[in-house]
A = this chain, B = another copy of it.
Amino acid sequence: MDEFASIRHWTSGRQSESWQRERGVRLGIGDDAALVDPAAPIAGVASPYEFIMAMDTMVETVHFNEVTMTYEDIGYKALAANVSDIAAMGGVPLQALVSVSVPRQLGPEPMRRLYDGLYACAEQYGVAVIGGDTTSSPQHLVVAVTVTGAVEAGKALRRSGAKPGDAVVLTGPVGKSAAGLHSLLAQRERGADALAGERAAAQLVQAHRRPSPSVRAGRLLLARGTCHSLNDVSDGLASEAWEIAEASGLAVSLFDRQLPRSGSMAAYAGAAGIDPLEWMLYGGEDYVLLGTMEHGDAAAMQAAFHAEGLPFYIIGETSAGTPTVELIRVTDRGELRQPLAKRGYNHFE
């Protein structure tokens, strides 16, 4: 069972929508974040703003190890991944709670460095760290973060709003984080001297260790009122496109030639003799935003993004039909339609 099947097996049908609604819930399990009306359950009146809540956990050996991340990076990225879930709803991040489960042999200084990184991210995105928990752990470090945000009531951008004929848009290049991870693991195996495309690799390592959640892009997408659906690219482009396809009940086509390739990723992949498409489709952890809107609105949105100095790409389109995701490649033999698997990237296997 994959993660989503497991979650459905464990949680679906347990609490009715109306029961949850009485407790202030406006959107429950199944999107990047949940939405609650903070005033409704007690005051009985609707608030003009909804509270956004998300939770994301990083586990040693699953999401990082001593080669791929410093302790500062672990703290930074644990919060950044959560802030990205707020960005994916079009919201403003506000507060965070942090639970660390600390291996007994780890002294206080590595944890101090972890919090250095976490607070650096908090300052970058204006997040108040307000609580959490500290426990010991038998062996591995686990960092669970809960983040809150605010969004204008009823305006949050969900996965489920895509319409057939929409343009598929992306707010930045994908695959850099996976390429950075590749270079870190290659460095370990072959030694730093053998490292291909060294200067490019440094940028990619930075992208892997210190990702930038797309809060400004999310707010801009929400403000114009034309974005139909939105996800952040945490599990990989293919996986996120699948989520929009399934939640909205339609097919997604991505055009190979329109996928943005970052210069540093292309340079590194070229030097290493690797086709970067796997990183771009399945890499994840790039924390750019993937959305859909009408074609005309996409062109206007692109102009608005460029006016703000932000990247914006139109990379595909949606169509009525069974939920699926395909990549369209133009080759010598004509147009090839390649179905994309609904999988994420398994970092260490």
Q: Which residues of A contact B (CB under 8 A)?
A: 1, 3, 6-7, 9-11, 14-15, 19-20, 23-25, 27-29, 33-34, 36, 38-39, 41-43, 47-49, 51, 53-63, 92, 94-95, 97-99, 101, 108, 111-112, 114-115, 119, 122-123, 126-140, 142, 144, 146, 148, 150
Q: Which residues of B contact A92 (CB under 8 A)?
A: 41-42
A50 to B, closest residue via Cβ: B38
Q: Which of B1, B28, B48, B122 contacts A131 (CB 8 A)?
A: B28
Contact call A130/B38, Cβ cutoff below 8 A = no
Contact B20 A53 (CB under 8 A): no
Find out whether the CB atom of B119 lies under 8 angstroms from the CB atom of A6: no
Q: With A10-B112, A128-B19 as known contacts, state yes or no: A144 contacts B47, CB within 8 Å.
A: no
- Chain B residue at smallest Cβ distance from A25: B128
**A129 with B39: in contact, given A61-B138, A138-B139, A140-B137 (CB under 8 Å)?**
no
> How many protomers of this protein does the assembly include?
2
* 5 residue pairs, one from A and one from B, having the closest CB atoms: A38-B38, A34-B130, A144-B144, A146-B146, A23-B128
A131 B53 Cβ-Cβ under 8 A: yes
CA distance in complex: A242, B23 (Å): 35
Please give, as numbers and ranges, the residues of chain B lying within 8 Å of A49 by CB-CB distance. Answer: 38-39, 42-43
Q: Which of A27, A39, A58 has the most CB of B within 10 A?
A: A39
